[in-house]
Amino acid sequence: MENLPKTIKSLVLTMYDPDAPTGSGWWHWVIVNIPVQTPFIKQSAGNNPNLLPKGSRLVRNDFGVINYGGPCPPLNSTHRYQFTLYALDIDHIEVDEQTTLALIGFIANSHQIAKADMIYSYLR
């Protein structure tokens, strides 16, 4: 990753579907404690923690599992998938199997120095 402010200590990456019919969207993927020097996330890292950057952690998603949950909108429906990269002023977020996505969101928003979003649409 390039051109990051010097004060950044860690990164958080999320994948969120705002179009899921839940009233609050659907969290597909969350990675915390990504080192700032990480140039990319390896393919399949969402389902193989050994491929994550050293020190990074996956957080339980709305599927109730600690891994990547791919897009799956209803047939003949398009959903948007928002990837957000948060640059934080803290180097570590303590997580365990019970850590909620709301807590990660609160911490990420409270400690963000910068963030970037990319939104992709998927038609099934």
What confidence tens digit (pLDDT) does each residue in 60-75 have?
999 999 999 999 898 9
Kindly report whether the global pTM for this prediction surpasses the value 0.95.
no
The Cα–Cα gap between 100 and 118 comes to: 23
Which of the four pLDDT bands, split at 50, 70 and 90, describes residue 23? confident
Superfamily for the 10-123 domain: PEBP-like (3.90.280.10)
For 1-124, list the strands marked E by DSSP.
10-17, 26-34, 57-58, 78-88, 112-123
What confidence tens digit (pLDDT) does each residue in 34-68 have?
999 999 999 999 999 899 999 999 999 999 999 99
For the four alpha carbons of 49, 32, 18 and 123, in that order, the dihedral sign comes to negative
Q: What are the residue ranges spanned by the domains of the chain?
A: 10-123
